[in-house]
Structure 1
Amino acid sequence: MDSQDNKQLEEELSLKLFVVLSRAFQTIRKRVEEDIKTYGMNPTEFAVLELIYSKGEQPIQKIGDQVLIASSSITYVVDKLEKKGYLVRKPCPKDRRITYAVITNEGHTLMNEIFPKHKEAINSIFGGLDTKEKELVIDQLKKLGYYAADPL
């Protein structure tokens, strides 16, 4: 095989990898979203509530960066979760420009009930891989992600 054939093969494999990875991600995301909907939330609401449940109170302005949603959507999502009684806003005593989202007792009770079920659903979705395969895929995807972020 000459270098032109190698280059062509690499390009074809890269395209195939992109398609396979995209389809797998779409299927996995669809199944995860279906699970989340059974708890009466959309994926964005669940992500915000899970962040606050896991990490404690968060400045509303910083939530978007952590759950990968547009900052313009955060206020709307926080409003919805507040109306459902799952979180409240708390002003920062040191800086009036900052407001924290804080999980309520009701939100905590809900997450204590549904988060273990959600983890089971995720485990089931990824049941096609054994432990070693999961570790290998995680390592390979990290490597790919780091390279794609800074290819030089």
Structure 2
Amino acid sequence: MEFEKKLQIEEDLSLKLFIVLTRALQSIKKRVEEDIKSFGLNPTEFAVLELLYSKGDQPIQKISDKVLIASSSITYVIDKLEKKNLIERKPCPKDRRITYAAITSEGTELMKEIFPKHRDAIQEICDGLDFNEKENLIQQLKKLGYHAQGVDV
């Protein structure tokens, strides 16, 4: 009977952890999205711009994997950023089937201006934890994530 009681407490705690994680993520995402929208971009546009700004030209087909958006949405996002003159398409000289997305000088200037502000906003959002708490939480969430990947549900 004692074992069943401990199991019930553990299950309740796991459920509470899930709820707390979900609510924390929702709060953080909402604040980050508000910050990004203040720059006239949506989160997906910002993610694509940030990728190209930090990593350089990328094959359009690979961008969706790197910024975690549906591959069916990437063309729409690329079109929107291209209309805003923030990125351009470049054909691959070696393989005509591949087209690269490249940040324009206008896109680079925009990111030089807004990325430091965005990084500051992220810092402010995460200021609820001190340095050691952040490091510990990162390790714990990685451990939980890796474990969750291996669980058969």
TM-score range, shorter chain: over 0.9
Q: Deviations over 1:62-95 (max 9, x none)?
A: 0000100000000000000000010000011111
**C-alpha distance in 2, partners of 1:100/1:87?**
10
**C-alpha distance in 2, partners of 1:31/1:130?**
19
SS in 1 for 2:95: coil
- Structure 1 residues not aligned, in runs of 5+: none
> What TM-score comes out, normalization by structure 2 length?
0.97
Residues 132-143 of structure 1 aligned to structure 2 (within 5 Å): 132-143=132-143
* RMSD between superposed Cα atoms in Å: 1.0
Runs of 4+ in structure 1 displaced over 3 angstroms?
none
SS in 2 for 1:96: coil
**C-alpha distance in 1, partners of 2:7/2:58?**
48
- Structure 2 residues not aligned, in runs of 5+: none
SS in 2 for 1:100: strand
Q: Which residue number corresponds to residue 118 of structure 1? A: 118
SS in 1 for 2:66: helix
SS in 2 for 1:126: helix
Residues 1-152 of structure 1 aligned to structure 2 (within 5 Å): 2-151=2-151
Identity %: 70
AA aligned to 1:58 is Q
> How far did 1:50 drift?
0.3
Q: Deviations over 1:131-151 (max 9, x none)?
A: 000000100000000000013
**C-alpha distance in 2, partners of 1:83/1:93?**
24
How many residues are paired up? 152
**C-alpha distance in 2, partners of 1:70/1:150?**
23
**C-alpha distance in 1, partners of 2:93/2:2?**
67
AA aligned to 1:25 is L
